[in-house]
Amino acid sequence: MTFINHRSAFLKIFNTTARYHHRHKVFEDFVSSAAIALHNGVAHDAELETQYLSIIAGYEKEDVARMAELLGHVVMALDEHRCDFLGGVFMELELGDKYRGQFFTPWDVSRMMASMQLSGIDALMQGKDFITLQEPASGAGCMVIAFAEEFAQRGYTVSEQLWVSVTDVDPLAASMSYIQLSLCGIAAEVVTGNALTLERRRTLYTPLHYTARWAAKLGSAEQRAA
């Protein structure tokens, strides 16, 4: 299946999933449970597991299976084409909340902005093993994914030379970021909180943060800087 096929399949399955719930709730529950499943696959958290079980308890068995299918299409779509898949389908499903300003940046705009940001990357990377990036209002992670794609196009290895810290005040947006950064192979911490007040209600680390031992790399860099 192509990227377009996976997107179409996602929309079709989503629209037939749990018709007894509001569409926004189904999307939010899918995103929350998918983020927990990805996290607990590498770093099990009992509190998150309890939250996961609480979410799926509100769905019939067939709909839980459909949610697993939805995640499968997200995985395969992002494997074929790195982009803001979830932000795109969220907007196409008209789930944006105008009162919260949940309107996600188009992918082409994000790529253009990332290209501009990386115009001097070669000079910045001189003498450095890696760089870090902070995104204080991550949305679904579109800007970070675009940055990582442009970074890779310039010959750098995202998994080894880029670590990201993203924050969003909205739990749904933060979970969307977590899923997509995880599946795009980006080492990151994803914070649900307020970057202005430094509030951190929840912090999750992507699988690559653990498997590539980024905690040790960051710690060593801090020691050298000190």
Cβ–Cβ under 8 Å, residues 96 and 103? yes
pLDDT in tens, 127-142: 899 999 999 999 999 9
Length of the chain equals 226
Q: Where are the domains of the chain?
A: 3-92, 107-225
Tokens of 160: 């080894």
The pair of three-digit structure tokens given for residue 105, joined into one six-digit string = 């940046």
* Residue 163 phi, psi (nearest 5): -130, 140
- Alpha carbon distance 180, 63 (integer Å): 22
Q: From CA 23, how far away is CA 21, in angstroms rounded?
A: 6
Domain made up of 107-225: CATH architecture: 3-Layer(aba) Sandwich (3.40)
Q: Token digits for 54?
A: 């609480």
CA dihedral (172, 38, 178, 129) in degrees, to 10, reads 170
Enumerate residue ranges in the chain where pLDDT < 50: 99
Q: Give the pairing of strands 131-135 and 187-194.
A: unpaired
